[in-house]
Structures are given as C-alpha cells and as structure tokens.
Amino acid sequence: LQKDLEEVKVLLEKATRKRVRDALTAEKSKIETEIKNKMQQKSQRKAELLENEKPAAVVAPITTGYTVKISNYGWDQSDKFVKIYITLTGVHQVPAENVQVHFTERLSFIIWDGQVHILKSFDLLVKNLNGKSYSMIVNNLLKPISVEGSSKKIKTDTVLILCRKRAENTRWDYLTQVEKECKEKEKPSYDTETDPSEGLMNVLKKIYEDGDDDMKRTINKAWVESREKQAKGDTEF
C-alpha cells in the first residue's frame, strides 16, 4: 500500500488533465485511508499481545489463621439418633463445603447384642469461619452407630451432628466409652464381701477428699471424738 501511494503521488505530479488528476487524487485518498486502518489494526493487535503477555494477577490465598479445638458441646438423643450440638457463631453463613463431617471406624471394639462391633467415631472441621478453623474429634462413641445413616445439619450459629443408632430404642447414658469409664471410677465402690466398717471408712475417705475445709474440719472433729471415746472404753461411734 505504501508503494502504491508513492507511485500515485508521482503520477499525480505528472498528470496535466483534470479528469486524470481527480481520479489519481481519489485513489490517493483511498490508499491513505487503507494505510491508516491497517496501522490502527496493527496497533490494536500489538496492545492485545502485550496484555496477554502480562503475568497473571496473583490472588492472595484466604488465610484461615489457626485451628481452634472445640471442647464445648451439648447432646441429647431420640429413639433413632444421638444428636450433638456445636455452637459456632456465623457458621450458617460460610459455604456448605467449608463444614465437613466424617464418620469413620476406629480399631476399638465392644460386645453388643452378643456380637463384637467396631466402635464408630466422627470428626468435624469448619474452615475459614471468621478467619479461623474449628475442629472436633470424638472417638469411641458409647455404642455402635450406622456410618451410612449418620449426617449433619447446619442451623443458625449451630452445627448439628446426627449419629444414627445401630440399635434403635436404646438409651445412651454417656456419649463415649471414655466418659463412661471416668464416671464409673468416680462412684464409690461397695463390696459386700468386705468388712462393712472398711466400706464405711472408704466412703468417709472419699467424702473427706472431695469436701471443702468445713467438711474436713467436721470429719476430723468426729474422728478425734471417736478416738477419745475408744480410749475411755466407750465403743459407741
């Protein structure tokens, strides 16, 4: 196009007749317009290439801060489910995929209904809630559950975990085996085959250890008075 334009200019300088000059002038304008359009298209393509060559914008990852271990929860039960309630402010506003609950089998066993069952467990992970993650792991539930029948629900500020009882219409006195064992260890033992006075002493010892200062002073006083009476030959206690 540039060479055509140069040649038209040379011819236009040599032309003497009006019709020829007008035709050459029109052709000159046409070529100049084409050159201008081509230059604009070239500049546009160059700008697009430069834009495509720019490095992709770096998106800062969403930081979730540290992970908080959940220790406070409530639970109750129905004929079919054990229900665990975890209160987390704003949990209903995070994406559903950020709240994950996995029901798994652990290598712990229990004899139930004459059969050996693998105890089930669950773990909860809530990601990116107010810049933190929250986790809760519960191992060795008290009785067998159905992994397939268990699920979760998200309510306002609450995660509800539904553990489906393997044996319906059975009551759970505790949530986990560990909780049951700890509670039973705290109960005073009464062995009918041992000396009754020994059992009484064990009960008094337990009351003394768990009592406040006033209770301990009262027991000490009673003990001293009892020893004094025994020394005088009075066996009444």
The domain that holds 156 is classified in CATH as 2.60.40.790
pLDDT at site 15: 81
List C-alpha distances in Å: 148 to 89, 151, 166, 237. Answer: 28, 8, 10, 61
User: Could you tell me the two tokens for 10?
Assistant: 């040379």
Statement to judge: residues 17 and 101 lie in one domain:
no
Three-class SS of residue 152?
strand
Average pLDDT over residues 82-87: 95
Q: Is the predicted pLDDT of residue 153 greater than 50, yes or no? A: yes
Domain boundary among 145, 166, 186: 186
Residue of 55, 83, 87 lying closest to 71 (CA atoms): 87
Q: Which residues contact 178 (CB under 8 A, 6 or more apart)?
A: 139, 140
- How far apart (Å, rounded) are the C-alpha atoms in residues 191 and 214? 29
- Asked if residue 198 belongs to a domain, the reply is no
What's the whole-number average pLDDT of the chain?
79
Q: CA quadruple 228, 229, 235, 237: dihedral positive or negative?
A: negative
Which pLDDT tens digit goes with each residue over 101-140? 998 765 555 555 555 556 678 899 999 998 899 999 888 8
Q: Is the predicted pLDDT of residue 78 greater than 90, yes or no? A: yes
Place of tokens 């809630």: 129
pLDDT at site 234: 56
Domain boundary among 145, 165, 186: 186
Average pLDDT over residues 58-86: 82
pLDDT at site 237: 43
Residue 17 belongs to domain with CATH number: 4.10.860.10
List, in sequence order, every residue forming a beta bridge with 109; answer none if it has no partner: 118
Give the dihedral of Cα atoms 95, 100, 101, 103; nearest 10 deg: 140
Average pLDDT over residues 53-59: 58
pLDDT at site 158: 95
Place of tokens 């019709």: 19
Average pLDDT over residues 40-47: 82
Place of tokens 């406070």: 72
8 Å CB contact between 129 and 94: yes
Residue of 117, 119, 80, 86 lying closest to 101 (CA atoms): 86
Average pLDDT over residues 151-171: 93
**Whole-number percent of the chain with pLDDT over 90:** 27
Average pLDDT over residues 154-176: 92
Statement to judge: residues 31 and 92 lie in one domain:
no
- Asked if residue 236 belongs to a domain, the reply is no
- Asked if residue 129 belongs to a domain, the reply is yes
Average pLDDT over residues 59-64: 52
Whole-structure pTM value: 0.50
Which pLDDT tens digit goes with each residue over 181-226? 888 887 665 555 555 556 566 666 767 676 667 667 777 777 777 7
| Nearest-10 crossing angle of helices 18-52, 2-14 | 160
- Asked if residue 177 belongs to a domain, the reply is yes
- Asked if residue 157 belongs to a domain, the reply is yes
8 Å CB contact between 104 and 121: yes
- DSSP state for residue 175 in the 8-state scheme: S
Statement to judge: residues 146 and 89 lie in one domain:
yes
Place of tokens 């002493």: 201
- DSSP state for residue 203 in the 8-state scheme: H
User: Could you tell me the two tokens for 173?
Assistant: 């006195």
Backbone angles phi, psi at 213, to 5 degrees: -65, -40
Q: Is the predicted pLDDT of residue 165 greater than 60, yes or no? A: yes
Statement to judge: residues 25 and 92 lie in one domain:
no
- DSSP state for residue 102 in the 8-state scheme: E
Statement to judge: residues 7 and 76 lie in one domain:
no
Q: Is the predicted pLDDT of residue 41 greater than 90, yes or no? A: no
Average pLDDT over residues 86-109: 85
